[in-house]
Amino acid sequence: MGLIGGSVALALQKAQFVPHIVGVGRTEKSLQQALYLGVINTAETSVEAACNDADLILIAAPVAQTTAILKSIKPHLQSQTVITDVGSTKGDVLDVAREVLGVQFHQFVGGHPIAGAEKSGVSAAKDDLFLGKNIVLTPAAETNMQALASVTQLWQACGGIVREMSAETHDRIFAAVSHLPHLLAFALVDDIASRPNAEELFRFAASGFRDFTRIAGSSPEMWRDISLANKTALISEITTFENELTQLKQLLNNHDGAGLEALFNRASVARNNWANGKK
């Protein structure tokens, strides 16, 4: 019962897609808050009770918890129950699901909604969080097509645009466009905050710093897990970015205004084309 799980529940209720939503959380407080806010119909602390007669189970938790969650639900799964997740890495999740679920792995569909916010917790949940957003599904060779169709319909009911790709392709893409930017934001804020004149620096930081570092307010636990889970692809992206920084440093050392402007122009055109929906 956090931002993503709560937003899925609210979106499904708004779409009148499911008759009954059961919420499972780590704390009684979050469950009671979800009930109070009308996010879920029933709250359960018992995994067995929560899995009883479940058509579909959505794992909405940091990726490092996936193994423990799958092990806890496995004894209570029915043959027709579909299992999916919202993890930001997919190769590790599919490997764990294949190992833990065994013969029932064909009922598992890896998923990743490309939506979120820097705030976490069920109180931040919104019924339109996924509206018009890409939802990546990563079916494996063993995936049951009916299970894939069920998860696709779920996300379409939430207003999402469903895309399919391999887990490997997913992890490579998101290391570049999501995981690396988060690490850079965390690193910049940590650097500024650790300086002797940090208070003065933050006092004069304005909208540019705020926009660039917004995602550094995200859940440290979640991003710890994502970074470690996608370590190989992320290290490759860090190395590529280090090369880009080296190029910038050389242009500055050489007082190469034309080179700087050319780099800035390439980046500006690419960014504006992306923002305006152009290729």
Rounded to whole angstroms, the Cα distance separating 188 from 91 reads 28
Mean pLDDT by 10 residues, the chain (279 residues): 92 92 86 92 91 94 93 94 96 96 96 83 90 97 97 97 97 96 98 98 97 92 91 96 98 98 97 86
User: What's the CATH fold of domain 3-165?
Assistant: Rossmann fold (3.40.50)
Full DSSP string of 69-133? HHHHHGGG--TT-EEEE--S--HHHHHHHHHHHGGGGGGEEEEEES---S--SGGG--TTTTTT-
CATH class label, 170-275: mainly alpha
| pLDDT for the residue numbered 123 | 84
The answer to whether the beta carbons of residues 86 and 110 sit under 8 Å apart is no
| pLDDT for the residue numbered 18 | 85
Which residues sit opposite 22 in a β-bridge? 42
Give the 3-state secondary structure percentages of the chain, helix then strand then coil, rounded to 5: 60, 10, 30
| pLDDT for the residue numbered 56 | 96
Give the global pTM: 0.88
Query: Which part of the chain is CATH 3.40.50.720?
Result: 3-165
Rounded to whole angstroms, the Cα distance separating 93 from 228 reads 12
Query: Which part of the chain is CATH 1.10.3660.10?
Result: 170-275
- For CA atoms 182, 185, 187, 190, the dihedral sign is negative
| pLDDT for the residue numbered 279 | 55
